Structure 1
Amino acid sequence: MNGNPGGTIAEDILMICDCDGVLIDSEAIAEHIIADRLKALWPRSDVSDTLRPLLGMRTQPLLERVAAELSCPIDADAIASIDAAVRMGAVQAPMIEGVNDALGAIALRKACASNSNADYVYSALTRTGLIGHFGERVFTADKVPNPKPAPDVYLAAARNLGVAPKHCVVVEDSVTGTRAAVAAGMTVLGFAGAKHIPGDQVHKLLAAGASIVFERMAQLPSLVDSFIIQCTAQKRNVNTNRDFA
């Protein structure tokens, strides 16, 4: 697969990848750390079930949401401690299996749009070598007014790179991120192949607005090719309509 029928980069189509759970297999580490810390604070059995659907949010609002849903107390020091532990653990996470080859087979400009901070994302992408696919096209929640599930980080990527949202295809593993990309007016390919993904995630991603859900990165180039063909057909139809206007 070379990403489009002509084999050249389509400058007016953009592929945007989430980082954690799509490029870096760090969400499983984050879930384990957060669950262990919260279970130590609150001796109850429903922590993991409450936590898992919220993965993809930034750590502070995630912890506050879990605390609220379980009616359990959590203070600022505990939040800061857990956030630091998650950052430290995620720093050594490996890349998602097959993602480097998949990205290399797709001839589109690629951006990364993450709910994490810029320093972490650049560090993770540089450490794994994935930065070569993105360069400076990295957009993070600490650089926009509102994190996912708000669409801000995705809209920032499209705006800065001069691509209409409808011509952006997003790869997301979380409900939070999927909702953000859908709110931005983008097409979402849901990834359900990371280690942290629960068995019902396929249905949750589809319910959140993903167009399709896949489980192996080897499937990604052909899915992106289908999106490119669809975009090209839409543009051709628009131009044809203009000719007859």
Structure 2
Amino acid sequence: MSRPGRPELVIFDCDGVLVDSEVIACRVLSESLAEAGIPVAADDIAENYVGLSAATIFADIERRTGRRVPEDFAPSTRPRLEAAFAAELAAMPGVATALAAIATRVCVASSSAPVRLRHSLTLTGLIDRFSPHIFSAEQVARGKPAPDLFLLASATMGVRPEACWVIEDSRAGIEAAGAAGMMAIGFSGGSHCRADHGERLRQAGATRVLASMDELTSLLAATSR
């Protein structure tokens, strides 16, 4: 495989890429839905909804189950998720080293709400590396797999889409990066990723798939030679 050129901007997804949050978030969402009378297993959530916005997730759950998600569901469950993150959340192994190796600009573009993004990045000590360049799907009309969020990030940062790398752990994110005309790099190092996760990201259009942040550090070093 040919070596990609050096990026002018590296756009990171947050959950499952910068922070190892997906197993925690899927468990909390499953528990909260069950209490609302909507049984959806955590594995089902991980399989079908990672990388999507809350609005998209809730709409599909309502379609599948025929049950209405309460209007106050997201704000009412936020304290529970924040408490779980405070107790369990960690930065992805090797991410600090990888970020230190990036000589170019970086930002975050995630389907999560702004308050969750800032909470997660603060807990894991990553907030200062990215702030104020933190973009949420709540800022655009269409979330992933539409390209809107990544295009917002590149436009705001003043970088052409074709000069951007996107690091993503979800199929929706990889598809969004491709639709935006950016280099889509899959990441399969999160604790939620199964053995076939990398192949699924390739099928979604990932140029290459990294199994760890150490591989990202090596790839970035190779582009600087």
TM-score with structure 1 length normalisation?
Answer: 0.77
Q: Residue type matched to 2:159 in 1?
A: V
Of stretches 89-98 and 177-186 in structure 1, the one that deviates more from structure 2 is: 89-98
Q: Measure the CA separation in 2 of the matches of 1:214 and 1:78.
A: 35
State the secondary structure of the residue aligned to 2:64.
helix
CA RMSD of aligned residues (A): 2.7
Q: 1:73 to 1:180 in 2, by over 3 A?
A: same
Unaligned runs of 5+ in 1: 230-245
- Relative to structure 1, the CA distance from residue 144 to residue 228 in structure 2 (aligned partners, 3 Å threshold; closer, same or farther) is farther
1:175 aligns with 2:175: no
- The answer to which of 84-93 and 145-154 deviates more is 84-93
User: Which residue does 1:65 correspond to in 2?
Assistant: 60
* 2:11 equivalent in structure 1: 16
TM-aligned CA deviation for residue 161 of structure 1? 1.5
User: Do 1:149 and 1:179's aligned partners in 2 also have CA atoms closer than 8 Å?
Assistant: yes
1:22-54 Cα shifts (integer Å, max 9, x gaps)? 1111111111112233445345xx734532231
Do the aligned residues in 2 keep the contact of 1:60 with 1:79 (CA within 8 Å)? Answer: no
CA offsets per residue over residues 191-241 of structure 1, 9 Å max, x none?
Answer: 111111123211221111111111111110222345667xxxxxxxxxxxx
Counterpart-to-counterpart distance in 2, 1:131 and 1:141? 18
1:170-211 deviations in whole A, cap 9, x for unaligned? 111111222221111111111111111123211221111111
- Please give the secondary structure, in 1, of the residue aligned with 2:186: strand
| Pairwise CA distance, 1:166 | 0.9
How far the C-alpha of 1:140 sits from its partner, in A, is 1.5
- Counterpart in the other structure of 2:20: 25
Specify the code of the residue in structure 2 equivalent to 1:200: D
Cα distance in 1 for partners of 2:93, 2:66 equals: 38
Task: Report the CA distance between 1:130 and its aligned residue.
Answer: 1.4
Quote the sequence identity (%).
Answer: 35
* Residue 188 of structure 1: aligned partner: 184
Structure 1 letter corresponding to 2:91: M
Change (3 A) 1:130 1:78: closer
Distance 1:225 1:51, change over 3 A: same
- What SS does the aligned partner of 2:165 have? strand
Alpha-carbon spacing, 1:76–1:123, altered in 2? closer, same or farther (3 Å): closer
Shift in CA distance, 209/84, structure 1 to aligned 2, threshold 3 Å: farther
Q: Contact 2:101 / 2:220 at 8 angstroms: preserved in 1?
A: no
Q: Aligned runs of 1:89-238 on 2, under 5 Å?
A: 89-92=84-87, 93-226=89-222
Q: The residue matched to 2:193 in structure 1 has which SS? A: coil
Residues 180 and 86 (structure 1), Cα distance of their counterparts in 2 relative to 1, 3 Å cut: farther
User: Partners in 2 of 1:70 and 1:119 — Cα distance?
Assistant: 28
Maintained 8 Å contact 2:17/2:190:
yes
Query: Which deviates further from its counterpart, 185-194 or 78-87?
Result: 78-87
One-letter code aligned to 2:209: V
Matching residue's letter, 1:51: I
Aligned-partner residue type, residue 168 of structure 2: E
Q: What TM-score does the superposition give when structure 2 sets the normalisation length?
A: 0.84
Mapped partners of 2:97, 2:8: distance in 1: 20
Deviation at 1:72, TM superposition (A): 4.5
Supply the distance in 2 between the matched residues of 1:86 and 1:60 (Cα, whole angstroms).
17
Change (3 A) 1:197 1:79: same
CA distance in 2 between counterparts of 1:162 and 1:89 reads 36
TM-superposed CA distance for 1:122, in Å, is 2.4
Using the TM superposition, give the Cα deviation of residue 112 of structure 1 relative to its aligned residue in structure 2, in angstroms. 1.0
Would you say how many aligned residue pairs link Structure 1 and Structure 2? 219
Larger of the two Rg values belongs to structure: 1
